[in-house]
Structure 1
């Protein structure tokens, strides 16, 4: 039941925003009473604080399942991006949940970014250790991870979500992302 409530809240937030994701609307969607809701969450905000972290874990698991373990370098980064876009295609409301969380669910937003940014930094460090990425200092990798996540979130919001317009094709988005990533990460920096 807890999972169903979280899933309903995520869809409603994605469709209407956090402000319109009332307990009444969520329980109606799930088909439960408000009493049942309050057995699982003390407040609406308590629910909001778990929606984004729950989907962050699902997103990371999805990406991990869809990127071959032996993949490296630019190919691995592109497979991560493709898996992310696939996840967002399956969960088109995700971009709005993420976009509004910084204001409406700051606890969830902080948990999301801690988990996702730290994971990305670890992945970039492994690429550095394997010699796939050169010329960056370890303290620069967090900024790079944040920039890459911002690019992904922008693509999700504009190209795949119900919030944005359907502009460029997915192939064009991936082509541009590949060109950017190849030049930004996988070419050695001049010494």
Structure 2
């Protein structure tokens, strides 16, 4: 089966139109976003500053304003960038899955790998509720839109039970976010280091729960 289109990007946060960036310009913009990811994750939105972002990126203050007009604009760009990358990670992981339940397993594995590598996703997205509610809504809606499409296709061939795909998509996204928060973001070893992956037993329990929720019920004929 084909993986859901997590790479599509319906809707966007309005921003001033700029000239297309050169290869070097794209690299500089990426460097600023990478720096912003660390600064916002470490300090939070209100304690972060443009100066701290440019210092982290090792670029001049004037360079920042070639790409972004304000701290809020780079924050919104970071939410969009993290969203694009996590969806890409999930879509890549799901490629070639033989059925929907296998795709769920692969997609969740891709999601947890990404969140272990980019724990800033949690803090940045949650701060968006207050800093840029539109960015928060787009972040979740983009993930859900891809999920709904994939679930509908799976239902059409009898791979998923007859449930509302939109409700299921939001529920699945909530599961992934809260399990990741509990077992990746909050967890620390004896030295205070965060885990590099979701514990295998937690992952297997989660997959069992999801399989039981999505699998077609016995006695129902496939189309």
TM-score by length of 1: 0.88
Contact kept, 8 Å, 2:158 with 2:216, in 1: the verdict is no
Deviation at 1:172, TM superposition (A): 2.1
Deviation at 1:21, TM superposition (A): 2.0
Task: State the match for 2:39 in structure 1.
Answer: 12
Q: Using the TM superposition, name which of 54-63 and 104-113 deviates more.
A: 104-113
After the TM superposition, which residues 153-168 of structure 1 pair with which residues of structure 2 at under 5 Å, given as runs?
153-161=177-185, 164-166=186-188
Cα 1:183/1:70, change in 2 over 3 Å: closer
Deviation at 1:72, TM superposition (A): 1.0
Q: What SS does the corresponding residue of 2:46 show, helix, strand or coil? A: helix
Q: Distance in 2 between matches of 1:81 and 1:110?
A: 21
Task: State the match for 1:73 in structure 2.
Answer: 100
Task: State the match for 1:134 in structure 2.
Answer: 161
Cα 1:34/1:183, change in 2 over 3 Å: same
Task: State the match for 2:173 in structure 1.
Answer: 149
Which is greater in Rg? 2
Task: State the match for 1:172 in structure 2.
Answer: 201
Looking at secondary structure, tell me which structure has more helix per residue.
1
Q: Distance in 2 between matches of 1:45 and 1:28?
A: 17
Given the alignment, which residue of 146, 149, 160 partners 1:122? 149
Deviations along 1:2-29, one digit per CA (max 9) or x if unpaired, are 1111111112222222222211110110
TM-score by length of 2: 0.76
Contact kept, 8 Å, 1:66 with 1:83, in 2: the verdict is yes
Q: Distance in 1 between matches of 2:48 and 2:219?
A: 51
Q: Distance in 2 between matches of 1:41 and 1:68?
A: 35
After the TM superposition, which residues 175-190 of structure 1 pair with which residues of structure 2 at under 5 Å, given as runs?
175-188=204-217
Q: How many residues align?
A: 186
Deviation at 1:105, TM superposition (A): 2.5
